[in-house]
A = this chain, B = another copy of it.
Amino acid sequence: MPFLCRHLLSSRGEASQTALAQEIIKSYQAMNSAQRLRFFEMLCRDFSPEASVILRAAAEYERSPSTQTLAALSEAVEPLRQELIRRINTAPGGTQTLVALREDLLDLSSQGKEFEALDSDLRHLFRSWFNRGFLRLERISWQTSALILEKLIRYESVHEISGWPDLRRRLEADRRCFAFFHPALDSEPIIFVEVALSNELTGDLGPVLDLNAPVLAVQKADTAIFYSINNCLKGLRNIPFGNFLIKQVVAEIAGELPNIKNYATLSPLPRFARALRETDNENGFTPERIARILGDYAHHLTAAAGVRDLVDALFRLLNHPLAHRDVLAAPLGRLALAYLTKVRRDGKLYDPVALFHLSNGARLERINAFGNLRPYGLEASFGVTANYSYMPAELEENHERFVRGGQIRVSRGLFHENKVVAAVWQATRELVQSQ
């Protein structure tokens, strides 16, 4: 392979680029895991820019900065790997192979290997190649080919599709499903979103996922609920599409169905339970903080007065949340709000889904205790769901406030509750710091 790669980059190889690229692809596909490891190591080692060349070009640029010397430096800095990857891409099936290769790379990286140099080149090129301008939005329906539909079943990881009847219900007249496709990846959705049309906003996943739910007449719907969004190809991780997809689908639905006035997600809180249980995180959900956040609701949970007792009581109830819905609903809602809007020790939000939507410019609309009663919903988020609203008119400003100042836009309904939570968080933070 090193030879093939050099050959492809050589002047000789130029005349038969496509054939050579095909050979490399075939060889790669035949490799086992150990061989791929060595291949990645080789690519990281042998096709990097040369320090001496870079330093010479930098010196030249320093002496006389100009378009030319800058161009030379630019060239010196760019790894040969990038050109190699571009040439591999000239073969039929090239893009597909390269995306699969990055998946392998990420898998091996997560096993402790380091291929940042190669991954960085792949990411750089994928960002350019999978530019929004080259993606094609397509509606997915029961008219779509089984080859593609089967992939939805495979790639749906938020709310598992239990089989063809489940999929069929999700493509009925009161649903919409859209995916991005890339021209070089045939019959391969890149990312897709599932939308339920309803006649008001709901936080309850039950009817949305119910195979036997009656089909709503479309003209009665006023709300589009984005209840599942899935990236399909691991090899495209960190290449951003979701932002574009949601906004474009909002536009598509607005064009098709003028009655739809509200666009909101119905989202999981994937790390809520975990975050709540990390009571030894001193910047997070300490027992003290939990107790303060629960505030008035505390006495519903236990007669005991101590912080420790309260937290113990809470977690005891949470072991059987459905048996204690009445008691738990309000406290869970407030805890979830804190979880969704407050940051961890590292300054980031706990919740990746919240981070995604808030940085898209959405606002936190509603929190729904017991919105998802499925086992995975109870386990990961004690059954809580959240709605994020996409209001076209405020997306840009929300986005900027969030990105610049960390400000989170919440709905009127959550406004007061949010102030309570914020006050607690602030107060306990000072407590911590003063210690």
Contacts and interface: CB of A to CB of B under 8 A. Distances in A.
A74 interface: yes
A163 interface: yes
A14 B55 contact: no
A396 B11 contact: no
Given A12-B396, A146-B146, A399-B12, A18 B67 contact: no
A409 B51 CA distance: 39
Nearest to A7: B396
Residue among A62, A70, A395 with max Cβ neighbours from chain B (10 Å): A70
Contacts of A70: 48-49, 54, 77, 117
B49 A54 contact: no
A69 B54 CA distance: 12
Interface stretch (A127-135, A258-266, A410-418): A127-135
Interface in A321-374: 359-361
A183 interface: yes
Nearest to A125: B128
Contacts of A315: none
Contact of A58 (B62, B183, B399): B62
Most interface-central of A142, A187, A395, A404 (chain B CB within 10 A): A142
A285 B163 CA distance: 49
Tallying the copies of this chain within the complex gives 4
Nearest to A88: B133
Interface in A26-64: 48-49, 51, 54-55, 58, 61-62
Interface string A392-435: 00011011100110000000000000000000000000000000
A395 B11 contact: no
Contacts of A127: 86
Can you list the 9 inter-chain pairs with the closest CB atoms, starting with the nearest?
A: A15-B399, A12-B400, A183-B183, A58-B58, A90-B132, A89-B133, A15-B361, A11-B403, A164-B164
8 contacts: A15-B396, A58-B61, A67-B120, A70-B117, A71-B120, A86-B127, A129-B129, A145-B145
Given A11-B403, A13-B396, A15-B399, 12 more contacts: A18-B247, A49-B70, A51-B61, A58-B62, A70-B77, A71-B120, A89-B133, A90-B244, A129-B129, A142-B145, A142-B150, A146-B168
